[in-house]
């Protein structure tokens, strides 16, 4: 058998063995796999760092660390909303703090408030749930905010107004001899404006109104005569004042006009 010449050897190289060809083909893939593994590991490390090292950042703070203009504007909007809520809560607290405590009426004020309430409309009644032994809740008989900053001023105005409109006010009983006697005394004087007369025993709220009047006037029973907002006294005292002219003087001092005096004055002209 003849050996191939040198030229034949170069023109027909020996084929490589199978294992070495496979290894050569797989080497580029191994390099790519290593690069992918390294990149994936780096991404995991970065994610773990963000979760562990920066967990306490609020959304607005996290966005403030972002350099993009849109995220910065959104972060500013979130902070502005939070600040507006805080300032709103502060304003609400200040507003509530300006609301005063519930107004408490003294005796004369309570008597004026009840009289004004009952005289303003015939259908006004004192709720039967009211405890007549204690001061009435002013919100039941006053038509303004009794917790406002001007509540005390409004009460003073109400007191002056009710007795100016009703200088002579009589709480009476329709079938009481004492009440009929006092009504007769007032009728003889022809008072203007006419006395405001309220027959308590005919009212639906008599069961609470009568004990309230007794508490506020220190009167044992009706009638209760108020002139200029002041309790005149018992029937015996009213009778005595009528005889000596004192009752007439009280009526004139209240701002009311007595018909007889008006007629005499007109005749003088």
Place of tokens 């006037």: 217
Place of tokens 């004087």: 189
According to DSSP H, which parts of the chain are helical?
Answer: 6-11, 18-53, 59-64, 69-98, 107-120, 151-165, 177-189, 206-217, 235-244, 246-253, 259-268
Which pLDDT belongs to residue 43?
Answer: 76
Gap between the Cα atoms of 156 and 109, Å rounded: 8
Which pLDDT belongs to residue 263?
Answer: 42
Gap between the Cα atoms of 50 and 249, Å rounded: 94
pLDDT, mean of each 10-residue run, the chain (269 residues)? 51 50 51 68 72 54 50 64 58 49 92 97 96 96 92 96 98 97 96 97 97 95 97 97 97 91 40
Which pLDDT belongs to residue 1?
Answer: 52
Which pLDDT belongs to residue 27?
Answer: 56
pTM: 0.61
């Amino acid at each position: 058998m003849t050996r191939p010449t040198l030229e034949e050897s170069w023109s027909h190289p020996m084929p490589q063995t199978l294992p070495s060809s496979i290894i050569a083909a797989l080497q580029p893939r191994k390099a790519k796999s290593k690069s992918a593994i390294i990149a994936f590991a780096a991404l995991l490390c970065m994610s773990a760092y963000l979760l562990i090292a920066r967990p306490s950042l609020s959304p607005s703070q996290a966005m403030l660390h972002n350099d993009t203009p849109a995220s910065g504007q959104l972060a500013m909007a979130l902070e502005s909303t939070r600040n507006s809520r805080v300032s709103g809560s502060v304003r609400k607290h200040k507003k509530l703090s300006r609301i005063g405590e519930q107004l408490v009426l003294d005796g004369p004020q309570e008597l004026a408030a009840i009289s004004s309430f009952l005289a303003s409309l015939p259908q006004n009644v004192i709720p039967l749930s009211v405890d007549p032994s204690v001061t009435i809740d002013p919100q039941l008989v006053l038509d303004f905010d009794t917790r406002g900053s001007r509540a005390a001023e409004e009460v003073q105005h109400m007191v002056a107004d009710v007795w100016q409109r009703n200088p002579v006010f009589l709480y009476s009983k329709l079938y009481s001899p004492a009440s009929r006697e006092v009504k007769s005394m007032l009728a003889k004087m022809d008072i203007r404006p006419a006395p405001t007369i309220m027959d308590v025993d005919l009212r639906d709220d008599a069961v609470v109104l009568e004990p309230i009047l007794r508490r506020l006037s220190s009167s044992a029973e009706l009638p209760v005569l108020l002139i200029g907002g002041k309790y005149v006294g018992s029937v015996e005292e009213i009778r005595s004042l009528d005889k000596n002219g004192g009752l007439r003087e009280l009526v004139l001092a209240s701002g009311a006009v007595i018909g007889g005096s008006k007629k005499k004055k007109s005749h003088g002209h």
